Amino acid sequence: MPTDTRRLTGPESSQSPYNFAPCSKLDMRNLEVRPDGRSFKQLRPLFLRTDVVSQARGSSYIEMNDTKAICAVYGPREVLRREDFSLKGQLTCDFKFATFSCKQRRQHQQDSQEKDLSVQVLEALEPAVCLHKYPKSQINIFITVLQHDGCALSAAIMCASLALASAGIEMYDLVVASSAAICGSLTLVDPTAQEEETILKSTVKLDANAGSVTVAYLPSMSQVSALSSDGELSFEVLNKSMQECVANCQRLYPVLEQTLVKHQQELEASKS
């Protein structure tokens, strides 16, 4: 992979000091309380606001305790290349973890995980945007995760859908997303990075069911727009946790609605 020579990079082989730290993994079998004191079914508080990037058409910021992401939407603008002509508008999405956002330092270039997440965010938003209203044009979404503490995908989806709405892009519905981590009979709603990693990065089999699910949902149309699961789960467990995520999405929907209403009120106030 080509690297940017203008940047100062670290030594070719270096290791994170955390690799030598005593194990920070949770004991999933005997977990009674979650490390942050939440109950298993409790979501983290959700904070959202719009208009954080003044130059963008629309922008938003999301905070779920220590997961923080910012999103900017540019466009609709003309598609320059003729071969990309399409009567339906095009949506592009660029998902990036800030280099300092995770425990391990990230590269400034998009890695394969970030590319995968970009596609997933895009596919979660596409069903919600009235792309037929934007012929010959493209809308660009840029998401940067500033701090990662689990559920980056669902935070990114919510943040981006709010940014699109605040940009005045015509949409069928807002997109709400929610995740859950599963280990055996335990279902941890809205998992933190520590909980996610304990379950997904384990090299030994923790339980017959160990994994995580993320669902993006269009609440007023009751449609699932994105669905992603990792780890090994049985069909029944996966189905059940999917329903649970959908229910959580419905609980989060009013927060997004209110943020959007507030954005609109502020816009009206600044006009008059």
Partner 1 sequence: MTDAELSEAEKTFILHSVQDNFREDGRGNEDFRHMEVETGLISNTNGSARVRLANTDVLVGVKVQLTAVDPEKPEVGRLDFFIDCSANATPAFEGRGGEDLGSEISAMLTRAYSCPSAVDFHSLCVLPGQQCWLLYVDVLLLECGGNLFDAVSIAVKAALFNLKIPNVTMTKDEGGVELDLSDDPFDFKRLNVAGAPVVVTVNKIGHKHVVDASEKEEECTLARIILGVTEKGTITSMRKEGSGSLDSDSISEMMESARKVGMELNKILLKALEEEEKQGAKTVGFLR
Kindly list the residues in this chain that would bind partner 1 in the complex (CB under 8 A): 15-16, 19, 112-113, 115-116, 119-120, 123, 126-128, 200-205, 208-211, 218, 221-235, 238-239, 242-243, 246
> At its nearest, how many Å lie between partner 1 and the CB of residue 231?
5
Q: Which is nearer to partner 1, 144 or 202 (CB)?
A: 202
Q: Which is nearer to partner 1, 70 or 151 (CB)?
A: 151
Hey, CA dihedral for 218, 223, 227, 233, is it positive or negative? positive
Distance CA 216, CA 248 (A): 10
What the block records as the tokens of 258 is 């209110």
DSSP of 32-89? -S-TTS--TTPPPPEEEEE--STTSSEEEEEEETTEEEEEEEEEEEE--SGGG--SS-
Q: Which is nearer to partner 1, 79 or 246 (CB)?
A: 246
> At its nearest, how many Å lie between partner 1 and the CB of residue 13?
9
> At its nearest, how many Å lie between partner 1 and the CB of residue 104?
8
Pairing of strands 46-50, 58-64: antiparallel
Q: Which is nearer to partner 1, 32 or 83 (CB)?
A: 83
> At its nearest, how many Å lie between partner 1 and the CB of residue 55?
28
What the block records as the tokens of 179 is 């995740």
Hey, CA dihedral for 257, 261, 262, 263, is it positive or negative? positive
> At its nearest, how many Å lie between partner 1 and the CB of residue 226?
5
Q: Residue 260 corresponds to which amino acid? A: L
Three-state secondary structure of 131-148? HHHCCCEEEEEEEEEEEC
Distance CA 102, CA 99 (A): 7
The three-class DSSP label of residue 178 is strand
> At its nearest, how many Å lie between partner 1 and the CB of residue 215?
8
Q: Which is nearer to partner 1, 70 or 175 (CB)?
A: 175
Q: Which is nearer to partner 1, 51 or 230 (CB)?
A: 230
